[in-house]
Structure 1
Amino acid sequence: MASLKEVRNRIVSVSSTQQITKAMKMVAAAKLRRAQDNIIQMRPYAQKLGEMLATVSAGSESGADSPFSKVRPVERVLMVLITSDRGLCGAFNTNVIKAAVQHIETNYPVLASRGQVEVLAIGKRGAEGMARRGYKVNSTYQDIFTRLSFVGVKEAAEMIMNAYEAGQYDRVDLVFNEFKNVATQIIRTEQFLPISSEPAVGQAVVNTSYTYEPTEAEIINELIPKSLKIKLYRGVLESNASEHGARMTAMDKATENAQELLKELKLVYNRTRQAAITKEILEIVGGAEALV
């Protein structure tokens, strides 16, 4: 049985850990509120922009002529993986990494074996996880969450678009956590490039005749890059909100576990203390009897 000093030290240690997890939960809750507001405001804009592009592109040859609509034989693939920079958020990062690996092994096993699948990591945990699994990782934009803004995400989107237009990649897929609520994040794997001619789920397409000003081609060529940048930015905002929700849930669970452990340790402490007292009483009684 552990000594009273050992049990006391463990109680102090667990109490300190519990205070830390409580503080981290409060910080995550404050960050979550801001992140949740950002993604809630972004979703209608992103959805409406997608609907506008799908509606204007329906039956139009200008959209098909865009370099971002060109479908080529898939020889080189870029996986854009959005994770977090820090841990202590449960299985948040692990689930995204597993989903990306499974997607590669299911859809591009031959290309992966040839080293023709590259990963663009947004978030340090994703870069570390995919590098450990032997994938070639581009970590240029892994610090986006340090100062999260549209400008930083825009630069990453432009790099991806330029690389695709130059023929460096024939397919670009996006993997991220979509925010549903504090306790639930949904893994999403979406085709980023080439842009699909089919409307996304929930997007309405209205077949209407339009008069274009300046021209149909100019409007579509302006909408497509903007839509791609917004799509990536939305994925980053979804992941950011999901991260804080996952961390808040993980820290709440850790605080509850610490409380349960404290109860057990205090029970052990009381039992050990009672045993020590009983032993002392027996020694006193035994000594008194020996003197009789």
Structure 2
Amino acid sequence: MANLKEIRNRITSVSSTMQITSAMKMVSAAKLKRAQDAITAMRPYADKLTDLLQSLSATLDADAGSKFADQRVVNKVLLVSITSNRGLAGAFNSNIIKETNRLIKEEYAGKEVSILAIGKKSNDAFNKSNRVIANRSEIYDDLTFDNVAEIAQFLMDSFTQNQSDKIVLVYNKFKNAATQEIMTEQFLPIVPMEKDEDIQLDYIFEPSKIEIVEQLIPKSLKTQLYKAIRDSFASEHGARMTAMHKATDNATELRDELKLTYNKARQASITNEILEIVGGAEALNN
């Protein structure tokens, strides 16, 4: 059995760790509330914008397609791997890295695959393979629509200039604090909605549908990327809060076990001292 000093040191160490994880849990909970409110507020707008764009596109003639809907033979693929800058969030980052590796090795095997890393964890994971063409981890320092729009413009330019034939977003979609869903979402080319002759739109268009679609597409793409990063940002804090909650519970359990072990060891030590005293007294009497 370990001596009392070693057990006391372990109890102190575990208690300190428990205080840290508990504080991190509370910080993540506060950040999660703001991040959750942000993604919840923008989802209806983003979904409605996408629905409107797809509905409009489905009513246009085939020769009125956008340059962002150019369906090509896929040789060059750009994966946008969205992780966080920090760890201690359970499997949040590793799940995205695993999914990105799966896409490289299975779905896009034999293709020229490059990566745009959003988050230091993604950049660190793929930088050694020389696949990372850009690292935009600084976006989390000031996560605004305008800053994300610059990244979206970079992706649109990459596609229109034939540097990429297909662009795919890989990120965690926020469902609740304990659940994140891994998303593999095509960014470009735009996925065309199947044309339906029965589509009826209760809108009066001014200017023409084609002009509206041409203006809506860049805005829709920027919104799509912003929503993905916002989803990932909320998922990160949810995952970290859950991980720190579990870590705090485990530390509490371990501390209680160590205290029990300490009390048993202390009791055994006192019992041995009493036995030694009694044995010494009997020896003197004899």
TM-score relative to the length of structure 1 = 0.92
Kindly provide the amino acid, as one letter, of the partner of residue 116 in structure 2.
Answer: L
Q: Corresponding residue for 1:53?
A: 53
- Per the TM alignment, residue 35 of structure 1 is displaced from its structure 2 partner at its CA by 0.4
Question: CA offsets, 1:118-147, max 9 Å, x none?
Answer: 011111111112235x25113431221121
Among 169, 183, 189, the alignment partner of 1:174 is 169
Q: How does 1:134-283 map to 2 (within 5 A)?
A: 134-198=129-193, 206-208=199-201, 212-283=205-276
The alpha-carbon distance between structure 1 residues 268 and 192, as it changes in their structure 2 partners (threshold 3 A), is same
> Do the aligned partners of residues 5 and 209 (structure 1) sit closer, same or farther apart at CA in structure 2, a change above 3 Å counting?
closer
Check whether the contact 2:59–2:199 (CA below 8 A) recurs between aligned residues. Answer: no
The equivalent residue for 1:202 is: none
Residues 63, 220 of structure 1: 8 Å contact kept? no
1:62 Cα deviation from its structure 2 partner: 7.4
User: RMSD of aligned C-alpha atoms?
Assistant: 1.7
Instruction: Select 1:128's aligned residue among 99, 124, 142.
Output: 124
**2:42 alignment partner in structure 1:** 42
* 1:40 CA displacement: 0.5
Q: What is the CA–CA distance in structure 1 between the aligned matches of 2:199 and 2:9, rounded to whole Å?
A: 69
2:121 partner letter: R
Counterpart CA distance in 2 for 1:56 and 1:259 is 57
Q: CA deviation at 1:104?
A: 2.2
For the 8 Å contact 2:119–2:135, the answer to whether it is kept is no
- The answer for the alignment partner of 2:29 in structure 1 is 29
Q: 1:95 maps to which residue?
A: 95
Give CA deviations for 1:203-262 in whole Å, capped at 9, x if unaligned.
xx9434865423332211110111100000000010011001000100100010011001
Rounded Cα–Cα distance in structure 2 between residues aligned with 1:167 and 1:226: 21
Compared CA separation, residues 63 and 143, structure 1 to 2 (3 A): farther
Does structure 2 conserve the Cα–Cα contact (< 8 Å) formed by 1:62 and 1:216?
Answer: no
Q: Which runs of 5+ in 1 are unaligned?
A: 200-204
The residue type equivalent to 1:261 in the other structure is L
- Give CA deviations for 1:64-121 in whole Å, capped at 9, x if unaligned: 531111011111110001111100000000011111111222211112xxxx200111
On the 8 A contact 1:83/1:123 being kept in 2, the answer is: yes
CA distance in 1, matches of 2:63, 2:260: 70
- Distance, in Å, in 1 between the alignment partners of 2:78 and 2:95 is 19
Which residues in structure 2 correspond to 1:56-135 (within 5 Å)?
56-61=56-61, 64-111=64-111, 116-132=112-128, 134-135=129-130
- 2: CA distance, partners of 1:53 / 1:255: 47
> Percent identity of the aligned residues?
54
* Equivalent position amino acid for 1:24 in 2: M
Q: Structure 2 counterpart of 1:285, which letter? A: V
Alpha-carbon distance in 2 for matches of 1:42, 1:63 = 33
Corresponding residue of 1:288: 281
Structure 1: how far apart are the matches of 2:134 and 2:246? Answer: 32
